[in-house]
């Protein structure tokens, strides 16, 4: 079987990509690759606490590949760090890196360029799936997630911290992608068909920062 890393934000799209990959007879996910903002110890952009990502890795029983990023981090710095991670992956027998991208061609092309010549194959297991149907399939499968970051230019701040469910899909304004593929919102998955058990979380402070609205999710159990 081909060993792959999965680019892991902790959100629903990377979780669904894992769900798809686990049903593939040819791929085994050998690690979850997550970048953390060193200054805040949180997932870059999603602002999810490291402890919650570690909890996900624990219930998934998949090693977490923690990649610290300086803050601020230029694109040149990011690419240098990623090259180092790629070299480590190849040395460990990893053959591919999978991503949960859905339809943004420029993002896909950037990832493909990053991996060119690295010895790693880019994989896009949920690419091109219709996003409304995909969002409903996620919800109906039992996937549970909360919105951790929203763009207030397209969504009311009241969406921060909400459950990703059918009611939320109904409330999304016209033009907002049901999976938030254009950056309208980001999520944290705390339960679903790939998890051995749910991760207890509670909603903390709502923070407005750098033009976005963040819902601070808190681990609500000492187990994690």
**What are the chain's domains?**
2-123 (3.40.50.620), 131-219 (no CATH)
Tell me what pLDDT residue 46 has.
87
pLDDT at 32 over 50: yes
100 pLDDT exceeds 50? yes
pLDDT digits (tens, 9 = 90+) for 68-84: 999 999 999 999 999 99
Position 146 scores a pLDDT of 98
Average pLDDT, the chain: 96
Residue 223 has pLDDT above 70, yes or no: no
b/e code 44-77 from CB counts within 10 Å (16+ = b): bbbbbbbebbebbbebbebebbebebeeebeeee
Nearest of 153, 158, 100, 106 to residue 126 by alpha carbon? 100
With beta carbons less than 8 A apart as the criterion, state whether 145 and 11 touch: yes
Neighbour-count burial of 204, counting CB atoms closer than 10 A to its CB (0-12 exposed, 13-18 middle, 19+ buried): middle
pTM attached to this predicted model: 0.95
Q: What is the DSSP letter of 157?
A: G
Tell me: pLDDT of 224 over 80. Answer: no
Phi first, then psi: give them for residue 109, nearest 5 degrees: -65, -35
Tens digit of each residue's pLDDT (9 = 90 or more) over 41-65: 999 878 999 999 999 999 999 999 9
pLDDT of residue 221: 61
Contacts 24+ apart (CB under 8 A), 156-165: 157/206, 157/208, 157/213, 159/185, 159/213, 160/206, 160/213, 160/214, 160/215, 161/203, 161/206, 161/215, 161/217, 164/12, 164/135, 164/138, 164/139, 165/139
């Amino acid at each position: 079987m081909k060993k792959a890393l999965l680019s892991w934000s902790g959100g629903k799209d990377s979780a669904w990509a894992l769900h798809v990959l686990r049903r593939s007879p040819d791929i085994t996910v050998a690690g979850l690759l997550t970048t953390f903002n060193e200054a805040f110890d949180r997932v870059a952009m999603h602002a999810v606490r490291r402890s919650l990502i570690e909890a996900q890795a624990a219930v998934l029983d998949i090693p977490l590949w923690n990649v610290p990023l300086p803050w601020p981090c230029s694109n040149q710095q990011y690419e240098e760090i990623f090259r180092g991670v790629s070299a480590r992956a190849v040395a460990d027998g990893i053959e591919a890196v999978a991503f949960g991208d859905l339809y943004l061609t420029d993002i896909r092309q950037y990832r493909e360029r990053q991996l060119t010549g690295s010895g790693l194959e880019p994989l896009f297991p949920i690419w091109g799936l219709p996003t409304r149907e995909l969002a409903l399939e996620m919800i109906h499968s039992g996937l549970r997630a909360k919105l951790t970051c929203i763009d207030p230019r397209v969504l009311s701040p009241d969406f921060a911290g909400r459950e990703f469910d059918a009611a939320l899909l109904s409330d999304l304004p016209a033009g907002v992608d049901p999976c938030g593929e254009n950056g309208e919102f980001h999520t944290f998955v705390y339960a679903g068909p790939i998890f051995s058990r749910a991760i207890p979380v509670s909603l903390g402070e709502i923070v407005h920062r750098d033009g976005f609205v963040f819902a601070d999710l808190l681990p609500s159990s000492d187990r994690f």
